[in-house]
Amino acid sequence: MQQLQAPKDKIALVTKPSPKEVPLYIRLLLSFALLVLGFALSNSVFFKENPLFGKPLVAETLIAILMALFGFYLLPKTFSSIKHWLQKIIFQFVNDIVSSFWEQQSEKMREARLEREERKHKEEEERETKRKLGLEGQLLLDTSVLIDGRILDIAKAGFLLRNVVVPEFVIKELHALSDSKDALKRKKGRRGLEVLKQMKKEVVCQTPPNDLDAEHLPEGVDTALVEYAKKYKMTLVSLDFNLNKVASIKELSVININDLANALRMNLLPGEELELKLLDKGQEKGQAVGYLEDGTMVVVSGVVDLVGETVKVKVKKSLQGSAGRMFFAEVLKEAN
């Protein structure tokens, strides 16, 4: 547009057209032609029979001189004015056409840009909707579950009836642990990555794009997991007590592998009899400790001398603690 405005500004500055814009030889030819024409017409038409002031050629000469001056100055000036007027009209016409064309193109470009942005936004919303539908109700695994590894045994046993989801920020945390200078952390990180690798062979394991920046959230990965589970309505699977507590406060669905393990432990009723190998001394005087096949502890009173032997016991009661279920029993008399 600046290139188009420059000639317009230049034309606007020329307010008084000059006859000098017409070449000198053209003005001389015009003045000479009008001189001859003026003399001839005045002599033949006006003053041939009635000379001015009674003197022949006086009027003809004056009229011829006036016609010559008109051809030398006034006619070129008129031509220059007409030329400038035509230039302005043509320029304005071209400028209007170009301006109109540019405005139309600008409007089309603006509409195309808005259409692209609207289409892009719509596509993002569709992708987000599909992602929500694809992730809703799935199991969201945290770092502690992968490091623990029992989730892999559950998957192999065929008890995971839903797909599992491991966000990128969880994998990133496992990589950070695997590269740690601390030997224990490094071992945990590598174990978590290996469990994740095996999980992908057993169940559908999704790793959706990282649309939450865990590094910039107040509590890092834990906060990101809660927000992720809330956003996509997933079930959080974790062994972290504090994380499970926060998720429960947020009214999220939470599964604790320890709770699952405790729920699957053998349940014995008071009065049931079983054979038990006593492996160690108990905390109280005279107590001995044995374990069921699932690892549940059985405390037997008054048999500390029988540690290392297999005895027949009868269950007296059970106790559910934070560490799981524990049974108390006594040795049957016939077993002594």
Task: State pLDDT tens for residues 206-226.
Answer: 777 655 544 544 457 888 888
Tokens of 2: 């600046």
Checking if the pLDDT of 122 tops 90, the result is no
Q: Are strands 297-301 and 310-321 parallel, antiparallel or unpaired?
A: unpaired
More confident residue, 122 or 140: 140
Tokens of 331: 């040795």
Q: For the purposes of burial, counting CB atoms within 10 Å of the CB of 122, is it exposed (0-12), middle (13-18) or buried (19 or more)?
A: exposed
**Percent of the residues in the chain that have a pLDDT greater than 90, as a whole number:** 5
In angstroms, rounded to a whole number, what is the distance separating the alpha carbons of residues 145 and 104?
61
pLDDT tens by residue, 31-65: 777 777 766 766 665 555 555 555 556 566 777 77
Q: What is the CA radius of gyration of the chain?
A: 52
Judge whether 301 and 258 are in contact, CB under 8 Å. Answer: no
Ordered by start, the domain boundaries in the chain are: 2-132, 139-262, 268-335
In angstroms, rounded to a whole number, what is the distance separating the alpha carbons of residues 272 and 327?
11
In angstroms, rounded to a whole number, what is the distance separating the alpha carbons of residues 336 and 332?
7
pLDDT band at 188 (very low <50, low <70, confident <90, very high): very high
pLDDT band at 14 (very low <50, low <70, confident <90, very high): very low
Judge whether 152 and 203 are in contact, CB under 8 Å. Answer: no
Q: Please tell me the number of Cα atoms within 13 Å of 234 on its side-chain side.
A: 28
Q: Which residues pair with 324 in a beta bridge?
A: 321
Among candidates 268, 259, 286, 287, which has minimal Cα distance to 326?
268
Q: Which residues pair with 331 in a beta bridge?
A: 313
Predicted pLDDT of residue 51: 55
More confident residue, 67 or 181: 181
In angstroms, rounded to a whole number, what is the distance separating the alpha carbons of residues 22 and 83?
10
Q: Are strands 164-165 and 205-206 parallel, antiparallel or unpaired?
A: parallel
pLDDT band at 190 (very low <50, low <70, confident <90, very high): very high
Judge whether 252 and 268 are in contact, CB under 8 Å. Answer: no
Checking if the pLDDT of 261 tops 70, the result is yes
In angstroms, rounded to a whole number, what is the distance separating the alpha carbons of residues 222 and 208?
17
State the angle between helix axes of 168-178 and 183-202 in degrees (0 to 180), rounded to the nearest 10: 140
Helices (H), the chain: 2-13, 24-41, 58-69, 75-135, 143-148, 150-156, 168-178, 183-202, 221-232, 241-249, 257-263
Query: pTM of the prediction?
Result: 0.51
The residue behind tokens 């011829």 is 64
Question: What phi, psi does 303 have (nearest 5°)?
Answer: -130, 30
Among candidates 40, 36, 41, 43, which has minimal Cα distance to 68?
36
The residue behind tokens 């016609």 is 67
Tokens of 248: 């429960």
Fold of the 139-262 domain: Rossmann fold (3.40.50)
Q: Are strands 139-141 and 164-165 parallel, antiparallel or unpaired?
A: parallel
CATH architecture of the region 268-335? Beta Barrel (2.40)
Q: Which residues pair with 288 in a beta bridge?
A: 281, 300
In angstroms, rounded to a whole number, what is the distance separating the alpha carbons of residues 241 and 255?
11
